[in-house]
């Protein structure tokens, strides 16, 4: 049943108007539906959203819960959830369609290839919500706040554009602070290793993903860093 359910989601993804996919990383082209090749790099607002509103990315969006919540709360902004797993983004894309959230779209690709599909300074903000912390030091370069990835984000985010990290991992939180401290042009605007210990500093932090709720249920604290990388 699980395999059949996943295959159904993959079929649905081919019919959804709010999903774009890169099926083969070695051949980085963007496809809508089964075989309609599209080029939205630098043109997401005008050619998909049909407006000129700011664009906010959620990287490693998983089920797309944060993308959907933000899109519902801020209808004057455009949101793109990015993840490599098609069965995951199906959930967010389905919810967005059911709720008529025309300002939410989903991009299936590897994060390390994000610059191939998002144009230079096209993103106004970037959210990184509960990514894999890659706890082994040997895999620290895979962390989405490593200098390797910051270099990528710098290509696609506007000057003074805000980046957000929300995580339950103390290792990733500390690592990110250390990385930003050494990264040229990085400025930490706000940091908090327990955001729910006091009134929230920013209202958009109140949205919770499935994994965040699980973390809270077992007593983990939620951490947040707000920064720029000019």
Active site residues: 132
Strand 157-167, strand 123-129: pairing: parallel
- Residue 41: closest CA among 123, 131, 162, 108: 123
Q: Residue 125, class by beta-carbon neighbours within 10 Å (0-12 exposed, 13-18 middle, 19+ buried)?
A: buried
How is residue 1 annotated by DSSP? -
Token pair 């990835």 is found at 149
DSSP codes joined into one string, 51-75 = S---EEEEET-TT-HHHHHHHHH-T
């Amino acid at each position: 049943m699980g395999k059949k359910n996943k295959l159904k989601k993959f079929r649905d993804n081919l019919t959804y108007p709010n999903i774009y996919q890169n099926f083969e990383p070695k051949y980085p082209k963007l496809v809508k539906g089964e075989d309609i090749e599209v080029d939205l790099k630098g043109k997401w607002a005008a050619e998909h959203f049909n407006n000129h509103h700011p664009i906010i990315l959620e990287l490693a969006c998983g089920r797309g819960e944060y993308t959907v919540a933000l899109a519902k709360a801020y209808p004057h902004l455009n949101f793109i959830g990015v993840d490599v797993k098609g069965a995951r983004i199906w959930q967010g894309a389905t919810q967005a369609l059911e709720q008529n959230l025309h300002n939410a779209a989903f991009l299936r690709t590897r994060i390390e290839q994000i610059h191939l599909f998002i144009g230079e300074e096209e993103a106004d903000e970037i959210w990184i919500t509960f990514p894999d912390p890659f706890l082994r030091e040997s895999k620290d370069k895979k962390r989405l706040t490593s200098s390797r990835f910051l270099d990528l984000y710098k290509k696609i985010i506007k000057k003074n554009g805000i980046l957000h990290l929300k995580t339950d991992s103390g290792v990733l939180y500390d690592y990110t602070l250390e990385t930003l401290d050494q990264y040229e042009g990085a400025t930490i605007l706000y940091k908090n290793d327990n955001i729910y210990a006091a009134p929230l500093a920013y209202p958009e932090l109140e949205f919770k993903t499935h994994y965040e709720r699980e973390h809270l249920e077992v007593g983990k604290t939620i951490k947040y860093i707000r920064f720029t990388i000019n």
